[in-house]
């Protein structure tokens, strides 16, 4: 199998530009590891590649979901591995790029497999979050799964909700699932290229990008 190239780094550092250059030089195809580019309709704010860029270089895992559909790091990793295999079978180079760190870790380092959780419970938790705020939910997680709660920051809404969702759906704490299925399963061997810039330069590029998005009709 052709070795995968993974381009990592913060937003606006130049990952997309480098990915396009490498794809042209290495007969590559790009796999997006951006959690929001997977959704149709959010084109400007997610800095999706243009139609010309997508015509020139094949892109994968972009515009594959409707806004109401759920996506996860585990599902991304599963789909990305399929893309990598198919691209390699065509004799081309898989190039993974994006700024969603959890998605990249799930693909490159592996992720603990956790059973499907209940959409109904997920919806109930969201309603509770709006009505009660985060603190009662965090206190419930401390009671039900103290190992998970103790490793999270008090304001980490996403992971607190995820911890509750898992234990209420499966009857088993997230910490127990992780202990039984440690990270590293299903990892992908890849050449990792990490991009960086001085913080002042990076912040200036981000500000310019946001201004350009607003002028392009983002609001």
Structure tokens at 98: 């994006």
Q: Across the beta sheet with 28-32, what order do the strands follow?
A: 59-60, 28-32, 93-97, 4-8, 190-194
What pLDDT sits at residue 179? Answer: 81
Residue-range domains of the chain with CATH:
4-111+183-215 (3.40.50.300), 119-180 (1.10.20.140)
What pLDDT sits at residue 37? Answer: 95
Structure tokens at 206: 């981000």
What pLDDT sits at residue 1? Answer: 66
Whether residue 82 is predicted with pLDDT greater than 90 in this model: the reply is yes
Whether residue 98 is predicted with pLDDT greater than 80 in this model: the reply is yes
116-159 pLDDT, tens digit each: 888 899 999 999 999 999 999 999 999 999 999 999 999 999 89
- Supply the pTM of this predicted model: 0.78
What pLDDT sits at residue 182? Answer: 64
What pLDDT sits at residue 184? Answer: 58
Residue 79 and residue 154 in contact, taking contact as beta carbons nearer than 8 Å: no
């Amino acid at each position: 199998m052709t070795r995968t190239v993974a381009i990592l780094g913060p937003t606006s550092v130049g990952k997309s530009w480098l990915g396009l250059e490498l794809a042209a030089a290495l007969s590559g195809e790009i796999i997006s590891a951006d959690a929001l580019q997977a959704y149709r309709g959010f084109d400007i704010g997610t800095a999706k590649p243009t139609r010309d860029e997508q015509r020139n270089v094949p892109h994968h895992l972009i515009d594959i979901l409707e806004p109401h559909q759920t996506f996860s790091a585990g599902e991304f990793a599963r789909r990305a591995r399929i893309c990598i295999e198919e691209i390699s079978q065509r004799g081309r180079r898989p190039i993974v790029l994006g700024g969603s760190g959890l998605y990249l870790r799930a693909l490159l380092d592996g992720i603990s497999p956790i059973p499907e959780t209940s959409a109904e419970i997920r919806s109930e938790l969201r309603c509770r979050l709006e009505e009660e705020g985060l603190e009662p939910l965090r206190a419930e997680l401390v009671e039900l799964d103290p190992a998970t709660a103790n490793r999270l920051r008090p304001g980490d809404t996403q992971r607190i909700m995820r911890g509750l969702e898992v234990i209420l759906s499966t009857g088993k704490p997230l910490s127990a699932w992780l202990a039984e299925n440690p990270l590293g399963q299903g990892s992908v061997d890849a050449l990792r290229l990490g991009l960086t810039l001085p913080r002042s330069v990076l912040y200036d590029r981000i500000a310019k990008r946001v201004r350009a998005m607003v002028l392009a009709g983002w609001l």
